[in-house]
Structure 1
Amino acid sequence: MLRFTALIALALVYLASGIAASPVAAPDSATPQKRAGTCAQLRVRKEWRALTDVEKKGYINAVLCLQSRPATVAGRPAIRNRFDEFQATHIDLTDEVHQVGHFLAWHRHFITLFYNALRDECGYTGPMTYWNWSIDADNTKAMKDSVIYDPTTGFGGDGVPGTYTLPPDPNGQSSAFPGAYRGCVKTGPFVNQVVRLGPGKLVTEHCLVRGVDESSKTALKTTEVNRVLQQTPFEKFRTSLENGIGFGFGFGIHGGGHSAVGGEMLNPYSSPGDPLFYLHHANLDRIWWQWQKVDPANRMFDISGPTTQRPPFVNVTLDFMMTFTTLGPKVAVRDVMDASTEPSCFTYQ
């Protein structure tokens, strides 16, 4: 059993920033001007279990390809490949894109950029996929027995105890929960993955580390997802999804999904070092998409919350420009609110 205390600590890391004291932001839901371009193709995102074994292999091979392609930006020796660049962007921007009004919008486009890289740079032709962890949480089987951890048709299993030691961290840069770093993944397609960034803001070369948390099932059940979906307005929805505050302090579906994998995935900064990060956040995006679809006229462009974790607080608007460092140009919040339009062009199955 792991880690209610770890997740509470995770919430405290964020709340200590001062965001808890921020005023409730007024929503910006004015009808926007749609982008002139239309999607050439509306791609369907599918749950991992809905993919054929051939599609699963294709997706995993594309991720491995991204891990082998040279980085496009020089000047940071630890960033060796394209996969590293995505992790580095998240590390660099963690404090700017969490506990803020554009948390969901930023991660929506981040996942789109990752999927585009799989397609455009690695020839992947299948769908973006997500991990509906509620299927596993509702099941009587252990979380570690989820098909997502299958060594052949999944992402490999839990960390092996005694195979990894956290590095020295005299300045508190790792943001790591020691109990979550069980050990190196020793099965599956990412057994030889070298993670060069993290834990946290540290730069250390290490294996892919996990520590599957069975207690996370409590936060990931369908009943909990439905409670999040019932929250209105957007301000209540986004904070409930990200933090679980109001019905389980520090143990919401966002943190629960990170905890379910553990290790690098439970690190607020370096979590994209685990390929499962993208499936977890695609599922969170699906839940936001579901919430929007209930009342598109009022919810599709509903946005609120601060633009920063610390004062002075400014309310986010649809015109707020989100940065993605080296991954691509800045994008306005309004441009990603409707997933069926450019630059997103997707729907969920």
Structure 2
Amino acid sequence: MADRVHRVGQFLPWHRRFLKLFEVALQDECGYQVLAYCLCSFYDWSPDIDNGGPLAKFPIFDAVYGFGGNGLDIPNYAGQFGNLSALASAGWVAPGAGGGCIVDGPFAAYNLSVGPGTSSTNHCLQRAFNDNIRQFLSSSMIKDVLRQTTYEAFRIELEGAPVTETMRLHDGGHNLVGGEIADHYSSPGDPVFYLHHAFVDKLWWDWVGLDFASRIDQISGRTAVVPPYTNVTLDFELDTMVVPVVAIREVMDIRNPLLCYTYG
């Protein structure tokens, strides 16, 4: 689904639906009934970014209470698809460290079967921290995205490159952690993906709340990256390939019975 849900109008509602399905799976298949309290967990990067400490010291990556830290350092690691070296040579962003299997925390022995890319290969969870990307996740970036006045401008400013000239909050988070989560196709293999995308979803809900009456039904953008495509409407159906489709209008308000969550 990756190529059908990025750089398009359904980017935000599709990922909102995806997050809810993950929460339901945790409840029904893994027994985490505490999530039935309808509070969606997110991770706001900006306080730790603004504090100036290194990414490896962020609480979310604590080996005991968090999600574990960076991957084993691979000299000259160039990303899952060699893309980091291209970015560095273009003078856009310098590579970070890591790239190999994470070595501590609860997912140190975690086995993934999807990726890299669209392949199906058993492999470890990789991370490649890059402190050079932290600028795209600061509190000032949040202020910038929230001051947008239309859904289309907000979505583009939130989602980021290649539509924008540099990264933004969405792609900045993926590439800040790097490794698996920076893989366009298999990024959900890193559990941090869900906390990051819940943060993206929260920003959308916060933006709607700034002018709820006019924004709760705002949706726009093309339905595909390449022709043929039409304009997204509230009737556009969100296909996840695993459950029956729902229309975008059914996920616009997170408090409705289908979604039933809020942000604290």
The two structures have a TM-score, normalised by structure 1, of 0.68
Is the Cα contact below 8 Å between 1:176 and 1:200 reproduced in 2?
Answer: no
Q: Deviations over 1:233-258 (max 9, x none)?
A: 11100011001679x62310011100
CA spacing shift, 1:244–1:206, aligned 2, 3 Å: closer
Could you tell me which amino acid in structure 1 is paired with residue 49 of structure 2? A
- Rounded Cα–Cα distance in structure 2 between residues aligned with 1:229 and 1:122: 36
Aligned to 1:101: 9
Q: Does 1:195 align with 2:112?
A: yes
Within 1, Cα distance between the matches of 2:161 and 2:143?
12
1:286: which partner in 2?
A: 202
- Secondary structure at the aligned position of 2:64 is classed as coil
Alignment of 1:348 with 2:263, yes or no, is yes
SS at match of 2:262: strand
Q: In the alignment, does 2:128 pair up with 1:230?
A: no
Q: Distance in 2 between matches of 1:345 and 1:197?
A: 29
Mapping of residues 116-131 of structure 1, within 5 Å: 116-124=24-32, 125-126=34-35, 127-131=39-43
1:193, distance to aligned residue in structure 2 (A): 0.6
Moved over 4 A (4+): 178-181
Q: Deviations over 1:265-312 (max 9, x none)?
A: 111111001010000000000000000011111101100000111012
Per-residue deviation at 1:206? 1.1
2:46 counterpart residue number: 134
Contact in 2 for aligned 1:176/1:199 (Cα 8 Å): no
Percent identity between the two aligned chains = 42
The corresponding residue for 1:185 is 102
CA pair 177-166 structure 1, distance change in 2 beyond 3 A: closer
Amino acid at match of 2:7: Q
Could you tell me how far apart the structure 1 residues matched to 2:26 and 2:189 are?
Answer: 16
- Name the SS of the counterpart of 1:183 in structure 2: strand
Q: What do residues 160-198 of structure 1 show as CA deviations (whole Å, max 9, x unaligned)?
A: 1149x999xxxxxx6453667611101000011111111
Q: Distance in 2 between matches of 1:310 and 1:160?
A: 38
Corresponding residue for residue 227 of structure 2: 311
- Alignment of 1:276 with 2:192, yes or no, is yes
Match of 1:138, SS state, is helix
Distance 2:127 2:201 in 1: 23
Gaps of 5+ in 2: 85-94
Would you say how many aligned residue pairs link Structure 1 and Structure 2? 248
Amino acid at match of 2:126: V
Do the aligned residues in 1 keep the contact of 2:40 with 2:261 (CA within 8 Å)? Answer: no
Residue 235 of structure 1 aligns to which amino acid in structure 2?
E
C-alpha separation in 2, matches of 1:260 and 1:136: 13
1:335 maps to 250
| 2:40 and 2:262 in contact (8 A); partners too | no
